[in-house]
Structure 1
Amino acid sequence: MHSNFNGVIKEILEQYPNIDLAEYLADNLQLPMEKAEVLASRIEKQILQKGIGAKEAKTLRLMEKSVEEENRTCSYPVDVLSEKEFEYFIKWLLGELGYEAQPANYVATQYGVDGVAVKDGEKVAVEAIRCPKAHKVTDSIVRIMQEKRGDCQKALVITTATFTDSAKSEAEKAGVELWDVEVLQQKLKQAKERVDLDMQVYFPKYKGTLLDSLLALAETKNFLLEAKADGKYDVNLPGVKYPLLTFQTQNGAVIRCIQRIKYNEPVNEADGEAITAADDEQAYTLVMQYLELFLE
């Protein structure tokens, strides 16, 4: 266990020495940068402090170590996410790709995530397996999926690694769709493109300044702007009492933006989180990412 975990760390450091983890999470999971930095810190802390030498649980042999040289590239190894973070990631990814399911329909397991979703009117049994990229998932998972899929018309197995040839063969016979690490990266790209498209629908394009862009939110049907004293504006959802965002202007520019929802609860300005960015355009992007969390 100790050597395997150290091997994963070594592989990450060797293959991704210059990765900006917070930037990747903010970009691909559509998180505000402040939250992405917190999540990145948790992941890095876990890599360094994760309990090494803990007694390994007895598990079915779903994975075998690959002896082949890995030639695949991955923008970020999602296999190092914690169980809970991987669960959130899978829910987000499938949701963005049009798989409809209530959060309760996904259950964290010792391997990853189990769930049932609906896509194009058909029920899909989902099994997501989190394991090191150097491993291969065997055909055992196909047999397990067949036993668990019940009345689902389709079945999908996702892994952060690859599949053995026998697993691919059995999956084809059983009608089980497989997403390996390469397909996962392609799906991530599709999800991001879909999120970007949603952004274009919900939000005006950048208007050249942060102030003009924020004021343009009033032109949409999604947000209401309420002018306050001292050059402040509250951004609200129609019919919702508490503001989502407060921004303050001075001399024709925005001098600060405060998130007014924290841990799903409304807060006053003093307790809200400030949105900070290098320039107005980046600040507007962060504002959009934050506000998009509250849209259907």
Structure 2
Amino acid sequence: MSDFSICKQIIENISKVVIGKQKTIELLLVALLGEGHVLMEDVPGLGKTLLAKALACSMGGDFKRVQFTPDLLPSDITGFNIYDHRNGNFRYQAGPVITHVLLADEINRTIPRTQSSLLESMEERQVTVDGQTHHLPRPFFVMATQNPIELEGTFHLPEAQLDRFLIKVELGYPDKDEEIAILQRFQETDPLLTLEAVARPDIICGLQAACRKVHISGPVREYITDMVRATRESPALRFGASPRGTLALMRAGQALAALRGRDYVLPDDIKYLAVPVLAHRLMLREDERLRGSSPVHLLKEIVAQCPIPDPLPR
């Protein structure tokens, strides 16, 4: 099994800048190792941008940020072709999507057409401009932030795009001790300015490949499948998780197991990841929504009802 100790160093490095939030940082690494992307929903000012910058710096990758606004165009993300008068040809002007870590900041403040311009990049790691395909650097990781939908000036993300995010997390407010520590750490200088890389993009790519070899026993595969299928059979949901959700839960389970020093996935890994991986893929029936139900609450009930198998790691 590959040496995943570098991931512990990345987590420790990020923690020099981001106070607390160990679970969120771990889930961020799970998404990165699982070759997925992360959606973060929370109110402004909680450190989401800081977290993305610290991750990019720690893994030694390029970082780009796009501030999503109502007038943002798809070409502002993917890039565009411009006419080069010197040689009489069109030349591709790369957009911010050509990077290792892309922060799509406040993604739900722009129109669905622009939101959807990221779909090809997130799924196929490429962009197509005027019929010409441009491959993205590896690894390619999107961390999108969105404001709660109740805030002014927000648009719902299309279901197809929500399904492209491996994990959805929330940072939440710091507790009192964490907030005091934030004041102390940022009093004289910004620790991000002195943060150094502890990895390289090629090392991350190697770990991503190694994660796919983490063993999943037959009973655990069946456990994943039963859990996802139960979301489709729930009378409280209009739509359950798709097969992409099944694959996402498997990939996330492999990444979490590797991150925790195992070469096999346990049922507890799947239980731990069920809400961040599946909840944002579910759509409530209208009457359930009006009654105040939430996908997270329903998913926890489904997980509690799924029999836990003997993992049989070998």
* TM-score between both structures, scaled by the size of structure 2: 0.24
Identify the structure with bigger relative contact order (alpha carbons < 8 Å, sequence gap 6+).
2
Q: For the pair shown, which has the larger CA radius of gyration, 1 or 2?
A: 1
Identify, as 1 or 2, the structure richer in strand: 1
Report the TM-score when normalising by structure 1: 0.25
